[in-house]
Amino acid sequence: MTAPFRTLDDLDVAGQVVLVRADLNVPMADGRVTDATRIERLAPTLVELADRGAKVVVLSHFGRPKGKDPALSLAPLVAPLSAALGGRPVGFAVDCIGLPAAAVIDQLAPGGIALLENLRFHPGEEKNDPAFAKALAALGQLYVNDAFSAAHRAHASTEGLAHLLPSAAGRLMQAECEALAKALETPEKPVVAIVGGSKVSTKLDLLQNLVTKVDRLVIGGAMANTLLFARGVDVGASLCERDMAETCREIEAAAKAAGCTLILPVDAVVAAKLAAGVETATVAIDQVPSDRMILDVGPATVAAINAQLAEARTLVWNGPLGAFETPPFDAATVAVAREAARLTAEAGLVSVAGGGDTVAALAAAGVEERLTYVSTAGGAFLEWLEGRSLPGVEALRRR
């Protein structure tokens, strides 16, 4: 069956400069990558292109910089990327367009690889500015998008650029689309979704559609704090987008209309601040002290979630249930991840999880190999699940 979009099999790359849009927006702490999944899953595409004689130029965003923020430079990614490529040297350009980029690319021999600085240091990236897309296109002859996890963004490097050069999907993009379609095109019911994490403002909107696609929606992480606040629960000093209370009420109404059961935390692990070794307490969700932050869901909530999993035939999950990078706020995410893995092995649960930090959390729980499929995508995964077209994928479709 012909793939719906062009793949590396359709490109003649020898001697060509191939611009590869990757997603190197990986979890980091103290300047070090804490989960290299996205780098490791990108590597096969870069190795294949290099071995076929391409001059490989890697483009990516990192974080959400306001201007050229040195703390969000891609320079620290050169070494981990080289390591994932078996030690192949990786050049670095201090800008992703113009002379700094062209000078590094001109030094590349066939088979060489270089990484360009953070795309989002230029406002034209997120604006999908045609001039910025053209400046990127001027650097190469072919375009490969291997960033499924950024495909929900109609940005210059994920959408505009694909229309300016002969384009194709990378091996990771191809694998993500095929695996998600296989696992979730017609999911067996009941379908349970778990959505957590902290990208409240960008993900809350997704939930209004998601409730029409799943039978039960469990909400944890900082996402839950906002919905709880909208219900009138005092969430104390927790991370919460208080100005999204109306959106939350719309989600509740949409869930009711769709017959989707919303499951919110009934207890929480709270502390005065997010730090290791801080004093914690487990409280009922309506007993959060005003000077405390909800940093994980509590054991009663874990039991309620696992009860939902026991009845589920399909699980989709994006976003950790707590601030898992800082124990003990990883307890709920680890407990639910291990139960999901057990049910996948013993009860035939189809379990699909995705997201930069979610993958890291699953790895911390030791289950990233024991779910049905783990995607590198979070927001893009949710939007795919809703049935939304992903601009980065649509731009690759055969015309």
Ligand X SMILES: O=C(O)[C@H](O)COP(=O)(O)O
340 to each of 37, 145, 217, 343, 353, how far by Cα in Å? 20, 31, 15, 5, 10
Query: Least distance in Å: CB of 93 to ligand X?
Result: 20
**Cα separation of 164 and 166, whole Å?**
7
Choose the contact partner of 318 out of ligand X, ligand ATP, none; CB within 5 to 8 A by kind.
ligand ATP
Choose the contact partner of 267 out of ligand ATP, ligand X, none; CB within 5 to 8 A by kind.
none
Positions 292 through 351 that interact with ligand ATP (CB under 6 A): 294-295, 318-320, 322-325
Specify the residue, 35 or 55, whose C-beta has the smaller distance to ligand ATP: 35
Q: Binding residue per annotation — 12?
A: no
154 near 128, Cβ under 8 Å?
Answer: yes
Query: Least distance in Å: CB of 357 to ligand ATP?
Result: 3
Give the tokens for residue 207. Answer: 């939930």
Given the residues 140, 356, 378, 392, the one annotated as active site: 356
Choose the contact partner of 23 out of ligand ATP, ligand X, none; CB within 5 to 8 A by kind.
ligand X
Query: Least distance in Å: CB of 242 to ligand ATP?
Result: 14
Clarify whether 41 is annotated catalytic.
no
**Cα separation of 48 and 71, whole Å?**
31
> Where in the chain does DSSP place strands (E)?
17-21, 28-29, 32-33, 55-59, 91-93, 113-116, 142-145, 167-169, 191-195, 216-219, 261-263, 267-271, 280-284, 293-297, 314-318, 350-354, 373-375
**Cα separation of 308 and 316, whole Å?**
12
**Cα separation of 210 and 90, whole Å?**
40
Query: Least distance in Å: CB of 265 to ligand ATP?
Result: 9
Positions 374 through 393 that interact with ligand ATP (CB under 6 A): 378-379
Q: How far apart are the first and last CA of the chain?
A: 16
Site string for ligand ATP, 225-254 (x = CB under 6 A): --------------x---------------
Query: Least distance in Å: CB of 354 to ligand X?
Result: 9
Instruction: Name the site residues for ligand X (rule: CB under 6 A).
Output: 23, 25, 64, 149-150, 153, 356, 378-379
| DSSP-derived 3-state class of residue 274 | coil
**Cα separation of 351 and 198, whole Å?**
22
Clarify whether 313 is annotated catalytic.
no
> Where in the sequence numbering do the catalytic residues fall?
38, 199, 356, 379
- Binding-site entries for (2R)-3-phosphoglycerate: 38, 120, 153
- Site residues for ligand ATP per CB under 6 A: 196-199, 221-222, 239, 294-295, 318-320, 322-325, 355-358, 378-379
- Binding-site entries: 23-25, 38, 61-64, 120, 153, 203, 325, 355-358
